[in-house]
Structure 1
Amino acid sequence: MTVPTVETRSANNCNETNSPKRWSHIRRVLERPGPFSDPAFEPSTEILPFLESMKILIIGAGGLGCELLKDLALMGFRQISIIDMDTIDLANLNRQFLFKFKDIGKPKAEVAAKFIMNRIPACKVTLLTYDDETNQVDPSTIIPLVDGGTEGFKGNARVIYPGITACIECNLDLFPPQVAYPMCTLANQPRLPEHCVEWVTVLHWKEHNPFGKDVRIDGDSVQHIQWIYERALERAKTYKITGITFRFTQGVVKRIIPAVASTNAIVASISATEVFKLATRSVILMNNYTIFNDIEGIYTYTFEAEKKSNCPVCSTIPQKIELNETSKLQEVLDTLIERYNLISPGITTADNEGQNRTLYMISTQQFEEITKPNLNKTLQELNLTDGTELTVVDKTRANPMRIFLHITSSMETTSKDLIYT
């Protein structure tokens, strides 16, 4: 599949763009110091041309992405790449202002970029690397990330220096838990319209959907949502519950939270300002996480999100898993998937002679057939002892993970249990 990637450039033949007044507001910031200037900032007439040559990548052309594209283009950035695999639908038009009715069904990235400027060629990806001798991040490979997100009337923005500041994984504890309804409520005592929709998707779909027993729900399929909507509506009428509509049904299935245009605009402006600061050093950076909430009045707060010393993504410290010697490799696999949100991890280790030894891998059918029997073997049978280092790869991780096994004997575990009791 070709990823729609588009670059936007300011039109050099546009009188407004080349007018001395066009960037006067930016020049005031860049060509003279201010009370909030970064100590390292040196005012210069050369900073604006530098901005024009700087390459920016925007990931996502939705409500926030449209605002960002507009903000960054008006700040003097001219080399802007934007990527989005989604297409435009009718529900986008109330807040994603770069799109019009005639654009429905077209790729978001292409339409957004054409609205601002014109097309780009390929996208270059630069990976973060560490110095082999010092195990420190190589500054020349650091690409700062400005991350923003909105959820209804709430939003956040943060600045991430890969390998130096807290990454997204470091702060996963800040995210609210996924909404889950008790099974007994869904089956016997539905009270809300979402209970009726969840009953269809969780309990009714597996046995009664007309699309095939092993077919999973596609939240973008009109046929799937229509069938779920009709079954949910029947159940709602039985329990005298109102509020079931097609759009509501799709929102519950896809876990859609209504977007608010003003929240998108505010969070986008915060994010764009941080990009401008990163590029110019004209003002001290945010340190490093800002939250915004205007449900009841306006509340905003900035704090420093701390880097986790044992973060499985940005830390070089190996992770540790504690198991019993009678535990099976399947338990190791299940623990990795649950603890680190992996999808299909592959596990290797080194034998006594330092040679690579594959314990489980599904990268090819041949590897899976050869290594699958290991899942039912105990750690003892696989000669995995206390302190064994595993290398784990998964498509959700850019780099392999180092995992140390802490293996206890059956006798030790029983003794601990007795003492605890």
Structure 2
Amino acid sequence: MSQPVMVSGTILAPSSTMATRWQYLDNVRRNSGPFTDPDVFDASEAAATNMEQINVFGAGGLGCEILKNLALSGFKKIHVIDMDTIDVSNLNRQFLFRQSDVGESKAEVAAKFVEKRVKGVSITPHNCKIQDKDEDFYMQFTLVICGLDSIEARRWINSTLVDLVDMNNPDSFKPLIDGGTEGFKGQSRVIYPTMTSCIECQLDMHAPRAAVPLCTLATIPRQPEHCIEWAHIMAWEQEKPFPKLDNDDPEHITWLYKKALARAAEFNITGVTYSLTQGVVKNIIPAIASTNAIIAASCCNEAFKIATNANPALGGEENYMMYSGNDSIYTYTFKHEKKDDCPVCGNMAKNLDVDPNLTLQEFIESLAARPEAQLKKPSIRAEGRTLYMQSPESLRLQTAPNLEKKVGDLVGNGDEIGVTDPSLGRVDFKFRLKFTSEFVKAETNGHAK
């Protein structure tokens, strides 16, 4: 026989447990507060029911906390994407997983756990990359929440949601709530695609990791990270144990770990571990459970505010919240301005300083390090012609001779180029080239030959 349940000093029959579970939530959903906008806030029973029908999509390293918070906040339809499997190192902070779950899909295990604990919620797991889903998949959601562990994935989902917007279709507008942590620091932000500052507008806040000189890696490594980078960059290239490095393949990471461990022993360096190897190769920042909990709570709080209009969400005068727990507990909110020359959501080409004496190959390589670009495998078009295409193979071979030509021989000072990158979806980055050194063009049809 089932036992009665004690809630706030009152004994309740099991049949009434579900009704009382949401009583404190309903106090917020059905009562206006000091910051509630009376023109949009709806306190009716129907409005509360509508919130339960909102389809929410979430992904990434903050997933455990976000899933738990969403389920306990009254969201009933949730999809989650995570391509990773559970590792022993996850168990200290990702509380939805147990020792017996090691090796299983994170998305699937987390979904089952939350569904079991919070009755009535439906979570659909997807064990894949976010890039594996098409636009129709993302069109089904009302909100998108990301706790991704790489800037590349953030840029891809950001550009995808911006590209979805159709001014004639209000349902194409998908608010993006993004959270991220780095040790004791973190941030959450709300992005209204095409309306407010997007992730690409804020790219300069995510500077690429400083590179270690090759001479240090090859001759005088001083840190365990140097040994790992040596295995990653030099040993792998020399020995080619597998046709192509897959950062998500445990066998590949294990090979790098053993190589780095031997290198460290040679120079009496300690601290090389499998987890550190994985972190260096994938550029993963160590996570702290308390920071994850705070940032996930902030993200889900914004989702609740957007869904209920109970309070103004980030995205207007203030759209970015920063948290620091290094010395104490400190939060700060501010407005990150939308950039007119943002290559994703802006309406004008972004100026890009370039030395015209660089070869096209050197220019392409420099795009990876530029804070305003940070592209990995870009293809480049100029007005009326293609300068270089990474794929398909036929176009790559056809345009490959341009790689040895100087930029100034291919385009003119002030010309506009379009740049695409496979990691950023279908968005075409537009840059206006500004030559930074003296260059005299041949007097032909406006372009050097």
Q: Structure 2 length as normaliser, TM-score?
A: 0.74
- Equivalent residue letter for 1:35: P
Matches within 5 A, 1:345-360: 345-351=378-384, 357-360=385-388
Task: Quote the residue 2:344 is aligned against.
Answer: 313
TM-superposed deviation, 1:346: 2.9
- Equivalent residue letter for 1:263: T
Change in CA separation of 1:174 and 1:390 when aligned onto 2, cut-off 3 Å:
closer
8 Å contact from structure 1 (residues 58, 83) kept in 2? yes
8 Å contact from structure 2 (residues 79, 123) kept in 1? no
Give secondary structure in 1 for the equivalent of 2:137. coil
Task: Quote the residue 1:172 is aligned against.
Answer: 203
TM-superposed deviation, 1:156: 1.1
8 Å contact from structure 1 (residues 386, 408) kept in 2? no
8 Å contact from structure 1 (residues 129, 137) kept in 2? no
Change in CA separation of 1:323 and 1:293 when aligned onto 2, cut-off 3 Å:
closer
Change in CA separation of 1:17 and 1:412 when aligned onto 2, cut-off 3 Å:
farther
Query: Of the two, which has the highest radius of gyration?
Result: 1
Matches within 5 A, 1:98-137: 98-117=96-115, 120=124, 124-126=137-139, 127-128=161-162
Change in CA separation of 1:389 and 1:241 when aligned onto 2, cut-off 3 Å:
closer
Matches within 5 A, 1:197-208: 197-207=228-238
Change in CA separation of 1:325 and 1:137 when aligned onto 2, cut-off 3 Å:
farther
Give secondary structure in 2 for the equivalent of 1:115. helix
* Aligned equivalent of 2:182, options 134, 147, 151: 151
8 Å contact from structure 1 (residues 170, 308) kept in 2? yes
Task: Quote the residue 1:35 is aligned against.
Answer: 34
Change in CA separation of 1:17 and 1:264 when aligned onto 2, cut-off 3 Å:
farther
Matches within 5 A, 1:209-220: 209=239, 211=241, 216=245, 218-220=246-248
Give secondary structure in 1 for the equivalent of 2:138. coil
Task: Quote the residue 1:257 is aligned against.
Answer: 285
TM-superposed deviation, 1:70: 0.8
- Equivalent residue letter for 2:32: P
Q: Does 1:402 align with 2:430?
A: yes
* Aligned equivalent of 2:69, options 61, 68, 71: 71
Task: Quote the residue 2:130 is aligned against.
Answer: none
TM-superposed deviation, 1:364: 1.7
Task: State the distance in 1 between where 2:202 and 2:92 align.
Answer: 31
Task: State the distance in 2 between where 1:157 and 1:139 align.
Answer: 25
Where in structure 1 are there 5+ consecutive unaligned residues?
1-13, 352-356, 414-421
Change in CA separation of 1:307 and 1:378 when aligned onto 2, cut-off 3 Å:
same
Instruction: Give % identity.
Output: 44
8 Å contact from structure 1 (residues 40, 281) kept in 2? no
Give secondary structure in 2 for the equivalent of 1:170. coil
- Equivalent residue letter for 2:64: C
Task: State the distance in 1 between where 2:428 and 2:300 align.
Answer: 33
TM-superposed deviation, 1:74: 0.8
Task: Quote the residue 2:59 is aligned against.
Answer: 59
Task: State the distance in 2 between where 1:199 and 1:191 align.
Answer: 12
Task: State the distance in 1 between where 2:218 and 2:402 align.
Answer: 39
8 Å contact from structure 2 (residues 379, 390) kept in 1? yes
Give secondary structure in 2 for the equivalent of 1:114. helix
Give secondary structure in 2 for the equivalent of 1:148. strand
Task: Quote the residue 1:11 is aligned against.
Answer: none
Task: Quote the residue 1:301 is aligned against.
Answer: 332
8 Å contact from structure 2 (residues 162, 345) kept in 1? no
Change in CA separation of 1:318 and 1:297 when aligned onto 2, cut-off 3 Å:
same
- Equivalent residue letter for 2:330: Y
Q: Structure 1 residues 177-186 or 263-272, which shifts more?
A: 177-186
Q: Does 1:44 align with 2:43?
A: yes
Change in CA separation of 1:224 and 1:50 when aligned onto 2, cut-off 3 Å:
closer
Where in structure 2 are there 5+ consecutive unaligned residues?
1-13, 116-121, 126-132, 140-160, 442-449
Q: Does 1:366 align with 2:394?
A: yes
8 Å contact from structure 2 (residues 356, 439) kept in 1? no
8 Å contact from structure 2 (residues 350, 431) kept in 1? yes
* Aligned equivalent of 1:267, options 295, 300, 314: 295
Q: Does 1:161 align with 2:192?
A: yes
8 Å contact from structure 1 (residues 319, 404) kept in 2? yes
The C-alpha deviation readout for 1:165-223, integer Å capped at 9, x for no partner, is: 1111222222355144344544454443333433444444443x4726x754x555555
Q: Structure 1 residues 65-74 or 148-157, which shifts more?
A: 148-157
- Equivalent residue letter for 2:223: L
The C-alpha deviation readout for 1:112-163, integer Å capped at 9, x for no partner, is: 112223564997223545999xxx8975532111101112222111111111
Change in CA separation of 1:105 and 1:79 when aligned onto 2, cut-off 3 Å:
same
Task: Quote the residue 1:7 is aligned against.
Answer: none
TM-superposed deviation, 1:50: 1.1
Task: State the distance in 1 between where 2:219 and 2:367 align.
Answer: 35
TM-superposed deviation, 1:273: 0.4
Q: Structure 1 length as normaliser, TM-score?
A: 0.78
Change in CA separation of 1:22 and 1:326 when aligned onto 2, cut-off 3 Å:
closer
TM-superposed deviation, 1:258: 2.8
8 Å contact from structure 1 (residues 83, 109) kept in 2? yes
- Equivalent residue letter for 1:54: I
- Equivalent residue letter for 1:302: T
Q: Let me know the Cα RMSD of the aligned residues.
A: 3.5
